[in-house]
Structure formats: C-alpha cells, structure tokens
C-alpha cells in the first residue's frame, strides 16, 4: 500500500490545530463548570414593559444550576425594599428573588400581575419548579390570595394573615410572622392560644417587628425552614439539617431564658411539625415542656385578658369617631401614648401599642373613603383624630393636603 508522506510543515500544523482543539475543548468544559457570579438589577416584563421589578440571582456553581423562585410583595410597590429584606435569605438558601415595583395595596389586578411576573422570570432566569411567596401587610394578603388559587410551595406572610377556612384552602405550608404589638396581631393570636385547633399547614412565629418587615436574620431562618423541610428526605442534607436544628435550639433557649416563652414555644412547635427536624432535635418534647411551665400559662392568661381589653377599647373608639369632640380625643390619645411607654406589664403594653396602630389604620381608611366622597365636614373630623394619633404619618399629611384642595374649590 502506498503511504502518503505529508510535509513536515503540514504535520506540525496538524499537531498545533489538534492540540489547540484539545485546549479549547478543555477550556470550554472548564468554563461551563465555572461559578456564575451573582446578579442584581431592575428589569421589566417582556409582555408589559410598565411592570418593572427588582431581581436578585445569587452566585451559583454552574450556569446549568436551577434555583427555587422566591417572589416578594411589598405593600407600597417597593421592590427594592422587599429585596433588601430577603437578599440574605436568597443567598443563604439559594433562590432567585424577585419583587414587583407595580403590585401594591388595593391593586385589583394583582393576581394577573403576579402570574405575569412569574411567567417572565421563568423564561429569563435559572428558575426550577419550586415557587415560594413572601409578603408584608397587604403584600401578605396578596401572597395568601394567590396561593389559594395557584400551586406554590410555601408562603411567608408578615404582618397580616387569614381565617382558618382561607388557610386550609392553601395546599402548601404557610408561616405567619407577626409582632405582638402589631395591630393585625389578633388575626394570628387564635393559632397561639389554641395551637391544637390550628390547620396542619399553618405555622406562627412571633417577631419584634411591630408593623414592619421582620429583620433579615428572621426571614432567613424562616426561608431555611421551608427549604430544608422540602429537602428533608435527601441524604446529603442531614448535616445541614443538624446545623439548622442546633441554631433553632439556641434561639429557643435564648428566648426561654429571657422569659419570652410564647415566642420560644412557637419556634419549637414549628420545628416539631417537620419529622426530620424533630428527629434531630426532639422539638415535640421541648414544646410540651415549654407549654407546661407555669410562666407560659400565666403569659397565655395575660394575653387573653389584654385581648379582651383591646377589643373593648376598639369598640369604644369606633363608636366615638364622629360623636366625641376634640378634647375627648386629645385626652384619650394622650393617655394611650403614655401607656405605650410606661405600662409595666409587657403583654398589656403590647395591647396599648396595637390600639395605637388600630386607630391609625381606621383613620387612614376613613380619610381615603371620605376624600373620595368629597365629604369635607367628616374628613376634617377624622383628620383631627388622625393628626393626634400619628402626627408624622405621611398618609395623614397627604389627606390634609387633599382636604385643603377640596376646601379651595
């Protein structure tokens, strides 16, 4: 057989190209496995450019890595605020975090806009199958409303909640976070007073947030509870579960040591509801031990009494909105503000703070309604009370300007 002898230069060129090809292939394979840096930016839905949102994608090991989606709803439509509070959670337990700048309180189209947002994110970012929702105040109500009609994997509801019937209509776990001084606290308190009657998918954690987004570390703990609960059957998560249960034990011990037994019992009860956590930390036993303490029973009794007092005062305030003069309201609100600070019993002091928040939200609701109706006499009356209750409130200042405009016409 005749052999074709290639010139040396051609052989050398072939070798160079072959080796280069190997090098390029290696580089290509190396590049695909290289860690992808974090992304944070403002974007907009392709189907609706007016629907802008903030998105955060944490660093990940590979471009092929798919992450859960965490959708956050701020009641004022501030996506930046929501991302700021949940970025740590989405970094610690990797998830694509998105928050709308369009969806806010009293948005009649929030359901369609949430679907629009989720569809857009799924098309453009490395999102897997799991979807979690988080919201504060009105944002929590919208998250719960969406979850009742769509398949999601968990809801974090901060500062607002729903009835047992509404919650049982949701097919995923729901975690309610509330401060004991939050005016919406009565919406969640039944699940603390009667945990045995709480729907199995409902969990409560008490915060120190008043009516505000909880702090970042609290939200990170809660999102970790969701993520590790969902992955509890995987062998490679056992070590992470052990670390997590150790942290929660430390939180419970710290709270119980400080006398905050209601808060400690809520965390323990949440941990006991997940078999993997309970196996690692015996939380069911710990919950029962906390609930048997005399100090716990005393706090439950004090809470029950403070709620009865609060409901009676709420009724008085509602009946007096337009029937009592300015001097009566000055005396009532002055005494209320003083009690918020000086009341020695912590549980009762929280009731006074809830009353202050309740009065503010009632005044806001009436001011909005009366301004729309151009009812100047009643708007003047309600703004007098609003001004005494919350002198620095921006909504009160807004409706004061609205009143001036109405009076000039």
Pair (70, 201) in one structural domain = yes
Q: Which residue has the tokens 């040396």?
A: 8
Give DSSP secondary structure letters for 152-174: -SEEEEES----HHHHHT--S-E
CA distances from 81 to 50, 261, 266, 408 (A): 19, 31, 27, 37
Mean pLDDT, residues 263-286: 96
Q: What is the pLDDT of residue 236?
A: 67
d(CA 236, CA 355): 48
Looking at 15-108, which runs of residues are DSSP E strands? 39-45, 48-57, 67-73, 96-100
Q: Following CA atoms 171, 96, 80, 203 in sequence, which dihedral angle do they give, to the nearest 10 degrees?
A: 30
d(CA 298, CA 305): 11
Q: Could you give the count of Cα atoms lying within 13 Å of 272 in the half-sphere of its Cβ?
A: 19
CATH code where residue 193 lies: 3.40.50.1820
Please say if the pLDDT value at position 373 is more than 90: yes
Pair (201, 340) in one structural domain = no
The model's confidence at residue 14, banded by pLDDT at 50, 70 and 90, is very low
Domain boundary (230, 253, 276) is at 230
Mean pLDDT, residues 123-142: 97
Pair (214, 319) in one structural domain = no
Please say if the pLDDT value at position 6 is more than 90: no
The better pLDDT of the pair 303, 10 is held by: 303
Return the structure tokens found at 241. Answer: 């579960």
pLDDT in tens, 79-116: 999 999 999 999 999 999 999 999 999 899 999 999 99
Structural domain includes residue 58: yes
Return the structure tokens found at 408. Answer: 């000039």
Structural domain includes residue 65: yes
The model's confidence at residue 33, banded by pLDDT at 50, 70 and 90, is low
With residues binned 3-state (H G I as helix, E B as strand, rest as coil), the percentages for the chain, rounded to 5, are 60, 15, 25
Percent of the chain clearing pLDDT 90 (strictly above)? 85
Structural domain includes residue 1: no
Structural domain includes residue 239: no
Pair (191, 328) in one structural domain = no
Please say if the pLDDT value at position 255 is more than 50: yes
Pair (189, 333) in one structural domain = no
DSSP summary character for residue 208? S
CA distances from 91 to 96, 177, 217, 223 (A): 9, 21, 12, 11
Residues 6+ apart with CB under 8 A from 54: 40, 41, 42, 79, 80, 82, 83, 98, 99, 101
Domain boundary (176, 205, 230) is at 230
pLDDT in tens, 169-227: 999 999 999 999 999 999 999 999 999 889 999 999 999 878 999 999 999 999 999 99
Structural domain includes residue 396: yes
The better pLDDT of the pair 2, 126 is held by: 126
Q: What is the pLDDT of residue 233?
A: 67
Q: What is the pLDDT of residue 238?
A: 86
Q: What is the extent of the structural domain holding 127?
A: 39-230
d(CA 330, CA 36): 59
d(CA 267, CA 222): 10
The model's confidence at residue 237, banded by pLDDT at 50, 70 and 90, is confident
The average confidence (pLDDT) of the chain is 91
Return the structure tokens found at 3. Answer: 């052999």
Q: What is the pLDDT of residue 235?
A: 67
Q: Is 10 left (phi over 0), alpha (psi -120 to 50) or beta?
A: alpha
Q: What is the pLDDT of residue 208?
A: 84
Mean pLDDT, residues 345-356: 95
- Domain count across the chain: 2
Q: Phi then psi for 169, rounded to 5 degrees?
A: -75, -10
Please say if the pLDDT value at position 404 is more than 50: yes
Return the structure tokens found at 257. Answer: 């040591």
DSSP H or E run through 132: strand 127-136
Q: What is the pLDDT of residue 19?
A: 36
Mean pLDDT, residues 18-29: 36
Percent of the chain clearing pLDDT 70 (strictly above)? 90
Structural domain includes residue 190: yes
**Is 129 in contact with 184 (CB distance < 8 Å)?**
no
The model's confidence at residue 35, banded by pLDDT at 50, 70 and 90, is confident
Domain boundary (230, 261, 277) is at 230
Pair (183, 320) in one structural domain = no
Q: What is the pLDDT of residue 25?
A: 36
Structural domain includes residue 246: no
Structural domain includes residue 177: yes
Pair (60, 180) in one structural domain = yes
Pair (53, 157) in one structural domain = yes
d(CA 278, CA 272): 5
Radius of gyration (Cα) for the chain, nearest Å? 28
pLDDT in tens, 67-84: 999 999 999 999 999 999
């Amino acid at each position: 057989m005749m052999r074709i002898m290639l010139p040396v230069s051609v052989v050398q060129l072939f070798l160079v190209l072959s080796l280069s090809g190997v090098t390029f292939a290696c580089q290509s394979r190396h590049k695909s496995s290289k860690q992808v840096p974090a992304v944070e930016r403002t974007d907009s839905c392709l189907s609706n450019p007016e629907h802008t949102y903030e998105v955060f994608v944490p660093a990940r090991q590979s471009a092929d890595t798919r992450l859960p989606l965490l959708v956050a709803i701020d009641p004022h439509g501030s996506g930046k605020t929501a991302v700021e509070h949940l970025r740590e959670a989405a970094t610690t337990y990797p998830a694509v975090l998105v928050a709308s700048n369009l969806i806010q309180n009293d948005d009649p189209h929030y359901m369609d806009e949430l679907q629009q947002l989720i569809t857009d994110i799924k098309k453009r970012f490395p999102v897997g199958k799991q979807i979690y929702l988080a919201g504060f105040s009105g944002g929590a109500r919208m998250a719960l409303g969406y979850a009742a009609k769509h398949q999601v994997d968990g809801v974090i509801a901060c500062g607002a909640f729903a009835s047992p019937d509404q919650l049982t209509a949701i097919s995923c776990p729901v975690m309610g976070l509330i401060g004991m001084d939050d005016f919406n606290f009565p919406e969640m308190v039944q699940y603390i007073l009667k945990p045995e009657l709480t729907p199995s998918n409902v969990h409560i954690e008490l915060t120190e947030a008043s009516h505000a987004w909880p702090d970042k570390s609290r939200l990170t703990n809660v999102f970790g509870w969701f993520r590790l609960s969902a992955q509890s059957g995987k062998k490679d998560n056992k070590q992470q579960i052990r670390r997590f249960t150790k942290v929660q034990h430390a939180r419970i011990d710290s709270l119980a040591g400080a006398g905050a037994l209601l808060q400690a019992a809520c965390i323990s009860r949440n941990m006991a509801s997940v078999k993997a956590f309970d196996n690692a930390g015996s939380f069911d036993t710990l919950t029962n031990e906390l609930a048997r303490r005399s100090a716990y029973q005393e706090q439950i009794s004090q809470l029950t009494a403070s709620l009865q007092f609060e409901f009676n005062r709420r009724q008085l305030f509602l009946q007096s909105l337009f029937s009592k003069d300015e001097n009566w309201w000055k005396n009532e609100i002055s005494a209320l503000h003083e009690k918020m600070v000086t009341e020695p019993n912590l549980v009762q002091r929280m009731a006074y703070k809830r009353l202050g928040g309740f009065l503010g939200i009632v005044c806001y609701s009436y001011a909005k309604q009366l301004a729309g109706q151009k009812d100047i006499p009643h708007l003047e009356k309600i703004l007098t009370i609003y001004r005494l209750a919350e002198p620095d409130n921006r909504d009160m200042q807004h409706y004061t300007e609205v009143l001036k405009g109405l009076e000039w016409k």
